[in-house]
Structures are given as C-alpha cells and as structure tokens.
Structure 1
Amino acid sequence: MPNPRLTGLGSGLFCGAVMFALACLDQLLFGASLAVYGVLFLPVCALTAVWVRRGDLGTAPVVAPIAFAFGLLPVADGGGGLGGRVMGLITALATQAGWLYGGTLVAGVIASVRKIRLMTRRAAQRRAQASRPATTAPRRRPA
C-alpha cells in the first residue's frame, strides 16, 4: 500500500479532487445516486486521514466536509440557473448529512488515533532518554 504524506493543503486537494472525480463517475454510471456518492465518501475520508502528515493531522476532519460539498456539485439535482443549482446543493447537503457526518467521524477518529499513538511514542522516547545514565567518555589529549 502506498504511504504518501500529504500536507494539510495537499490532503484538501486530494480529498476534493477525488470526491469530484467520483461524483462525475457516479453521474455517468449511476445517474447521480447520492447513496453511492455517500458510500464512496467514507473510504476517501479514511485515506485522507491515513495519508496526511503527522504535523497536519488536524486538517483531515476539516477538509472532509469541504470535499463532500465540492464533490456534490456534479450530482446535486439542480433546476435551471444558478439559484436552482444552489438549492439543489443545499438540499443534497441536508438529505445526505448522515454520510457527511459519518465520513467526518471516520477521518476524525483515524486522525485522533494517529495523534495519540504519536504522543505516546514521543513520551516513551523521552522517558527512555531520561532513564539512560549520562556517561562521559574520557577526552583524548592532542599529541
């Protein structure tokens, strides 16, 4: 399995681009099925949380809902004009809130577990360094 390390911005771009591409694919294959879109959102959130860098773990649960909304653009049922598209997007966000919350929860749990493991590992390293006896090697005199 690949092990990329995405920055905060990179994870947002990854998640948004993948969700938009999956929404376009959903539009072509399933006629804009919001259930299929929601199911596909969950693994994308998990991958985003797994592939984000350690220093940017807090961004994974933040970019997930943004990517969900961005990806809805091709599949949201909209009437004519800009107003119809906006209302279709708002309606899709309201009716698919369960998938949105679920994916955000998946990203948040994975990022939190990774952060806790990182903090535990660092604390263990600090304890190991503190328990080591300080040894000094005898200095050699220049000849």
Structure 2
Amino acid sequence: MEQPRTRPPQRRQPQRQAPLTPQATAGETAAVYQVTGAPGARPRAVSPVVAALRKFPNPRLTGIGAGLFAALTMFVLACLDRLLFGSSETVYGLLFLPVSALTALWVRPADLVTAPISVPIAFAVGVIPISGGSGGFGGQTMALVTALAVHAGWLYGGTLVAGLIASVRKVRHMRQRHLLRAAQAARAVQGVRRPQQPQA
C-alpha cells in the first residue's frame, strides 16, 4: 500500500519593512514610532490650517540658493517699490518680512544656519535701488549706509524672523531624527525577541 506523502510544514517568512531613509517626513516617522513603540495608539489629527499650509510649495534650497533667492527677490521688490510707491521704506520693510520667512522655510535642513546670514545681505542688495544716492561711487555708498541705518528696525526684524524659524526647524529636525532612531531600535528589539520556529 502506498502511504500518502507528507510535506514538511513550511516556515512563514516574516514580512520585513523597508528601512526608513533620513529624508522621511515627520508624519511617517511619528506613525512608525507609534506602531512600534506604543501599540494601539491613535495618530493625532491634523488641523485644517496645517493641512492647508502643506499644500503650498515646499522647495528645499541650498544655502547659496536661498541667499540668491532672497537677494533677487528683494532687488525686484525694491525696483517695484521705487516705481509704484516712490521708494517707500515702510513698503520695503513690510515686503522684507515675508521674504525672510520664506528663505528660512525653504532652505534645506543641512543649511539652516545660513538663513539668518543671507537675509541681511539680501536686505542690503534690495536697498540699492531705493537708496537714492548720486554723485558716483562715493555718493552711492554713503546713501546705502544711510538707508541701512534708517531701515535698521526692519533689518533686525526680518533677521529675527529668519532666525526664529530656522531655530524651530532645527529643533523639529533633531526630534524627527530621534524618533527615527527610536523606531529603528524598537524594530530591532522586536526582531531579536521574535521566536524562531523549528524546522520539521
């Protein structure tokens, strides 16, 4: 009589997740940390304001790119200010604040320290069209120095905005890296503790 063949039970290979890259977003990192570190934890709801802000363009510029963006933008805005508002220092200062914020928001995390440095340079470049100097290089230089002294409040304000945004982004980037490392460590511990099934 033929005996039925018995097949040895096959081991089920555990599904492995692809390792997270350092460029993982904050939402993905937090989700992984919640799944591995705290089972059953529900993800936090995102407010409508944050969801609307995430729809805006979010480029990542190098330090040089962010400086060029700020300088060219302020120069163009200063020319428009001269044509439309007669070189109004208030208009120029108000336009400088959002440009400073965008520069600090769009620079990549590795070059965050350059944002508070490139913003004052961009302010000085933009002041040239509205300084109103005449009489050659010496007159232009004196007019530029006088304009910078007069607009010092706007200069400090924009630099402070860029510095605060860059500092907040730096803290958030360090926190994301900490959560990423914690999630990877938790996955490694779970892989070690998972019991091995004996082969038949």
Per-residue CA distance 1:79-104 (angstroms, 9 max, x = gap): 32111111110000011101000000
- Written as runs of structure 1 = structure 2, the 5 A alignment for 1:1-143 is 1-132=56-187, 133=189, 135=191
What is the CA–CA distance in structure 2 between the aligned matches of 1:135 and 1:29, rounded to whole Å? 66
Equivalenced residue count is 140
The structure with more radius of gyration? 2
TM-score normalised according to structure 2 size: 0.66
What is the CA–CA distance in structure 1 between the aligned matches of 2:101 and 2:191, rounded to whole Å? 46
The SS at the match of 1:135 is helix
Listed as ranges, the gaps of 5+ residues in structure 2 are 1-55
The alpha carbon displacement at 1:134 in A equals 5.0
What is the CA–CA distance in structure 2 between the aligned matches of 1:108 and 1:69, rounded to whole Å? 17
What is the CA–CA distance in structure 1 between the aligned matches of 2:59 and 2:185, rounded to whole Å? 33
TM-score normalised according to structure 1 size: 0.91
Listed as ranges, the gaps of 5+ residues in structure 1 are 139-143
| Percent of pairs with identical residues | 63
Over aligned residues, Cα RMSD in angstroms?
1.8
